[in-house]
Structure 1
Amino acid sequence: MLSREDNNILTQVGKGTPMGELIRRFWIPALLASEIAEPGGKPVRVRLMGEDLVAFRDTDGKVGLLEEQCPHRRASLALGDNSDGGLRCLYHGWKFATDGTCLDTPTEPSGSAFCSRIRALAYPTREVAGVIWAYMGDQADIPQFPEFDFLSYPTANVAPFKVLEDCNYAQAVEGTIDSAHAGVLHREQPWSAPAKYDHERDLQPKIEVEYTKYGLRYAGVRNFREEGKLHARVTEVVLPFFTLIPPDGFGVRKNRRMANAFVPRDDESTWHIQWFFDETQPVDIAYRVEEGGHWVDENFRKKLNIDNWYEQDREAMKTASMSGIKGILTQDHAVSETQGRILDRTKEHLGTSDVAVVAWRRQMIRTARAFADRKEVPTVLSATIPWQQIRAATVIFSNERTWKQEVPLNPDVALTT
């Protein structure tokens, strides 16, 4: 369990908080590019890190991410007119470029220099792999962009999704770095039925963690069905909230991979940005929607949500699945969201399967404290990281070897202390 103080440090992301200031130093996935696909189209309201923003693509195709409230009288710029290279407020016509520059103040006297002294709060953006990314930290020290290998895949081979998760970002992250739950929550038959898969047969994986310059990686090591062999799924956990999930490792799905970003919307809700990608073939989007349960409304909220109790089917629990909830993502969100908007970690009773969760918490809290107290920049921001070599993996190997031998860590990201 955590102390109340540490839990607050981990979960509070507003401006001026230790974790909020730390996360703002990273490039953050902000919204899907498809939300503002049309140049000169409708602006979109975006809540991010507790801040209310507006995103738009101007008539030249440039992307802007501004504070939602106009610097003049604080009306919403999301109501504005997006034309002629800028966003014009409906209240008095003040107009702003994508970088926040004031272009026009038509209600001020002709020839006035007033406009040149006005600037809207704007954050730098990048459009990569179907997602608009933002940098919300110190503009004088913009970090290296996280060039994960899948971000450079052909468009057909990588598909981004966005889903609102009704809880704090930290418990959303923790849900994906918990290997032990897979054989229970995602079990494809009732509890009383014989197990189908290795992760269902062995519910007590040995969790082993290795810290790195970018965060950590961990393996859930299980006995394989062949005598003398082990099975390990190696998950990459990249600060502050990225997880790279290993492929199934077998058959037609052996190259199918997934990455997650759990971006704080505010202290009590999270944007779950998820990429599916495949090195060898286009992503089957319809299949992914059905498998994951990515059914969302116009605000990206799940149609199966906590308000309708995820439409849990008790009869299906007797015949077809452990959870009675459709969709792997919906199942994951259900257990995280029902922990409460902000999990009270002072009341937990952790076990051996929680090793990776504890490691991530400690690393995040320690890093946030060091940044707040000593302005100590984490190595993932200060070092040159070979992003394209950070890859999750599934391996089967002799019990005379280790998963670290099978998936050796790049020396450039290994910690020396």
Structure 2
Amino acid sequence: MLSREDNDVLTQVGKGTPNGDMIRQFWIPAMLASEIGEPGGKPLRLRLLGEDLVAFRDSDGKVGLLEEQCPHRRASLALGDNSEGGLRCLYHGWKFGVDGRCMDTPTEPEESKLCSRIKAVAYPVCEVAGVIWTYMGDPAKVPQFPDFDFLSYPAEKVAAFKVLEDCNYAQAVEGTIDSAHAGVLHREQPWSAPAKYEHERDLRPKIEVEYTLYGLRYAGVRNFREEGKLHARVTEVILPFFTLIPPDGFGVRKNRRMANAFVPRDDVSTWHIQWFFDETQPVDIEYRIQEGGHWVDENFRKKLNIDNWYNQDREAMKTSSMSGIKGILTQDHAVSETQGRILDRTKEHLGTSDVAVVAWRRQMIRSARTYAETGELPGVLTNTIPWNQIHASTVIFPSDRTWKEEVPLNPEVALKA
């Protein structure tokens, strides 16, 4: 369990908090590019890290991300007119470019120099693989962009999804770095039925963690069906909230590849941005929607949610599904959201299967406190990382070897002694 103070450090993301200030030093996936697809189209209201923002694609196709309130009298710029290369406030017509520069103050005297002195809060953005990213930290310390290899795949071979998760980002991250839950929560038959997959046959994986410059990687090591062999799924956990999930290696999901970003919307809600990718063939988007349960409304909230108790089917639990909940993503969200909007980690009783979860928590809390006290940033922000060489893996290997021998760590990301 954590102390109350440590839990606050881990979960609080607003400006002026240790963790919130540190997370702002990373590139953050902010929204799907399709949300503001039309040049000169409707602005988008967006909440990130507790800040209310407005995103827009100006008439020239450039993307801007500004503080929502106009610097003049604080009316919402999301109501504004998006035309002629900028966003014009409806209240008094003050106009701002994508960089926050004031372009016009039509209600001021012609000789006024006010416009040249005014600037809206604006965050830099970049558009990659269907997602618009932003950097909300120190402008003098813009870090290396995390150019994972799948971000450069052809458009048909990578697909991005966005879903609102009604809880703090930290418990959302922890849900994906917990190998032990897969054979229970995602079991595709009743508890009493024979297991289908390796993670269902052996419910007691040995969790082994290796720290890296970018965060950590860990393996859930299980006995394999063949005598003398082991099976391991190696997950990459990248600060502050990214996870690369290994393929199952068996059944219909044997080649599934996936990456997650659990972006804090505020302290009590999270934007779960998820990429599916396959370097060999186009992504079957409809299949991914059905498999994951990516059924969302116009605000990206799940249609199967805590208010309707995820439409849990008790009859299905007796015949075809351990959870009775449709969709792998929905199942994951259900257990995270029912922990409470902010998990009280002072009341937990952790086990050996929680080793990776504890490791990530310690990294985040230590990094946030160090940054607050000394200004020193985590290694992931101060080193050149070969992002395109970081991959999650599923391996089967002889029991006289280790998963680290099978999937050796790149020396460029190894922690220095």
Query: TM over 0.5: same fold?
Result: yes
Q: SS of the counterpart of 2:82?
A: strand
Q: Within 2, Cα distance between the matches of 1:103 and 1:411?
A: 49
Shift of 1:252: 6.7
What's 1:411 paired with? 411
Q: Deviations over 1:213-250 (max 9, x none)?
A: 00000000000101110000000000000000001224
TM-score (norm: length of structure 2): 0.99
Q: SS of the counterpart of 1:140?
A: helix
Q: SS of the counterpart of 1:232?
A: strand
RMSD (Å) for aligned C-alpha atoms: 0.8
Q: Within 2, Cα distance between the matches of 1:176 and 1:274?
A: 12
Match runs of 1:152-167 below 5 Å: 152-167=152-167
Q: Deviations over 1:264-310 (max 9, x none)?
A: 00000000000000010000000000000000000000000000000
Q: SS of the counterpart of 2:140?
A: coil
What's 1:124 paired with? 124
Aligned AA (1:3) = S
Q: Which runs of 5+ in 1 are unaligned?
A: none
Q: Within 1, Cα distance between the matches of 2:347 and 2:408?
A: 37
Shift of 1:253: 4.6
Q: Pick which of 256-265 and 106-115 moved more.
A: 106-115
Match runs of 1:88-167 below 5 Å: 88-167=88-167
What's 2:328 paired with? 328
Structure 2 residue 203 is the aligned partner of structure 1 residue 203:
yes
Q: Within 2, Cα distance between the matches of 1:348 and 1:254?
A: 34
Q: Which runs of 5+ in 2 are unaligned?
A: none
Q: Within 2, Cα distance between the matches of 1:103 and 1:140?
A: 24
Shift of 1:194: 1.3
Q: Within 1, Cα distance between the matches of 2:181 and 2:328?
A: 12
What's 2:31 paired with? 31
Aligned AA (1:353) = S
Q: Within 2, Cα distance between the matches of 1:162 and 1:111?
A: 47
What's 2:185 paired with? 185
Match runs of 1:145-294 below 5 Å: 145-250=145-250, 253-294=253-294
What's 1:64 paired with? 64
Q: Within 1, Cα distance between the matches of 2:320 and 2:57?
A: 46
Aligned AA (1:354) = D
Check conservation: 1:30, 1:134, Cα contact below 8 A: yes
Check conservation: 1:47, 1:266, Cα contact below 8 A: yes
Q: Within 1, Cα distance between the matches of 2:189 and 2:250?
A: 20
Matched residue count: 417
Q: Within 1, Cα distance between the matches of 2:227 and 2:166?
A: 43
Shift of 1:377: 1.3
Q: SS of the counterpart of 1:317?
A: helix
What's 1:341 paired with? 341
Q: Within 2, Cα distance between the matches of 1:282 and 1:247?
A: 16
Q: Deviations over 1:330-385 (max 9, x none)?
A: 00000000000000000000000000000000010001111111111111000010
Question: Percent identity, aligned pairs only?
Answer: 85
What's 2:313 paired with? 313
What's 2:296 paired with? 296
Shift of 1:212: 0.1
TM-score (norm: length of structure 1): 0.99
Q: Within 2, Cα distance between the matches of 1:248 and 1:205?
A: 15
Q: Deviations over 1:111-166 (max 9, x none)?
A: 32110011000000000010000000001110000011100000000000000000
What's 1:357 paired with? 357
Check conservation: 2:197, 2:250, Cα contact below 8 A: no
Q: SS of the counterpart of 1:120?
A: coil
Q: Within 2, Cα distance between the matches of 1:46 and 1:34?
A: 14
